[in-house]
Amino acid sequence: MPVWKTVPSVDDGVKLLSLPDSRFKTKRAAVSFYVPLHAKSAAAMAILPYLLSHSCRDYPNVTLLNERLASLYGAKLFGSVERLGESQVLTISLFAIGDEYTPDHEPLSRECMSLLRSLLFDPVLEDGCFPASSIEQEKRCLTELIEAEQNDKRTYARNRCEQIMCESEGYGVNKYGTVQTVAALTPTDVTAAWKHLLKTARVCLSFLGMESDGTLEEAFQAYGRTQPVSCRTQVIEKAETVKEVTDRLPVNQAKLVMGFRTGTAEPDPAVMATRMMVALLGGTAHSKFFLNVREKLHLCYYCSARFDRHKGIMLVESGIERENFEKAKAEILRQIEAVQAGDFTDEELSATVMSIQNSFRTVSDRVTGIATWYENQYFDDTLVTPEESADAAGKVTREEVVAAAKRLTLDTIYLLTGEEDGQ
């Protein structure tokens, strides 16, 4: 059973997560930084995992770094940016075969950790700053990520609903920043963000299938960290008013996104019942939204629900014809009312339980799946295994699902429709 370990002589903001698992030939070492998600700092922070994973002083360009990775039997290096509650999670991951699979049992894991240390703590600097050419290249790539989200209208609509719903909360900030804030970044800005990250971020050192040799822990000990930043997520239990916003863009299919406050978030024990309720509504192929709003009444092309257990928000996403807006909205609310009244069969509940349990149990089938599962519990006091979550799902009662549905309050109705629609 994996457990959190606080790295000694640093602070309580650096944790070590050891995940012993002999099933995979590919092992993983990763460093994740957790910082508050703020509009002013999001872009500068978001660029860092990509910038840092492309070079260091020992391997000052992508070509030399790739040659080094090739010498490590084809090791792979990735940078990523995610959101966890109202925290921005910046990760650099290195995948490599286990030491036991190298021809002479070479200490490959030690070489990987040494490379990670160099990437994080010894990057290429010119006059104390990241090179302007490197910054401009990463700015272009980050801008493309933001524009890709804007071009995918389903993602765009979801992001807009979250932005409107959480306008004064960190959750409403895009994890990549905006095109404008990215464009304004300078080498000085990014270098200051890097130093701030190493000194104050909350850190997870995660090792799957390999043991830490202390290289990364020693690097953080030597850096002179200060008190880690607070990464609290604001949870609003109930919506007092309903916001309605319509945007018009050149789209053929309208997007309806409805945001709800669920009244529960981690570490509330009612979170599992809320997960079950959300899945019953719109998380499976036999959910109420899918079978009724889409299949029976043909009011949409898709209709699904998702729950953020850290923020306590449920989003219902649907692709519709503009003329079906009112009908689709009404039917979605009617299906929620049905669950609030307990109008669902034991067979529906049982199928939902099995679906959720299966999703938990298949988490461990992939290296990234099992690693992400535990890293997403960074702010939890204890670690819960996928199997324990599957068992907990099986104990949720009908009454708990109904109670979870009754706690829902509608916060935001967002519609993305075509420019030619006159309403």
According to the 3-state scheme, what is the secondary structure of 355-423? HHHHHHHHHHHCHHHHHHHHHCCCCCCCCCCHHHHHHHHHCCCHHHHHHHHHCCEEEEEEEEECCCCCC
Contact call for residues 199 and 226 (beta carbons, < 8 A):
yes
Tokens at 69, concatenated:
């990775």
Among the listed residues 74, 75, 73, the one whose alpha carbon sits nearest the alpha carbon of residue 103: 73
Beta bridge partners of 33: 90, 203
Q: What is the pLDDT of residue 141?
A: 97
pLDDT tens-digit readout, 44-72: 999 999 999 999 999 999 999 999 999 99
Contact call for residues 36 and 45 (beta carbons, < 8 A):
no
pTM to 2 decimal places: 0.94
C-alpha 214/C-alpha 221 separation (Å) is: 10
pLDDT tens-digit readout, 354-369: 999 999 999 999 999 9
Residue ranges of the chain with pLDDT lower than 70? 1, 3, 6-12, 421-423
Q: How many CB atoms lie within 10 A of CB 60?
A: 14
Q: What is the pLDDT of residue 419?
A: 76
Q: What is the pLDDT of residue 104?
A: 83
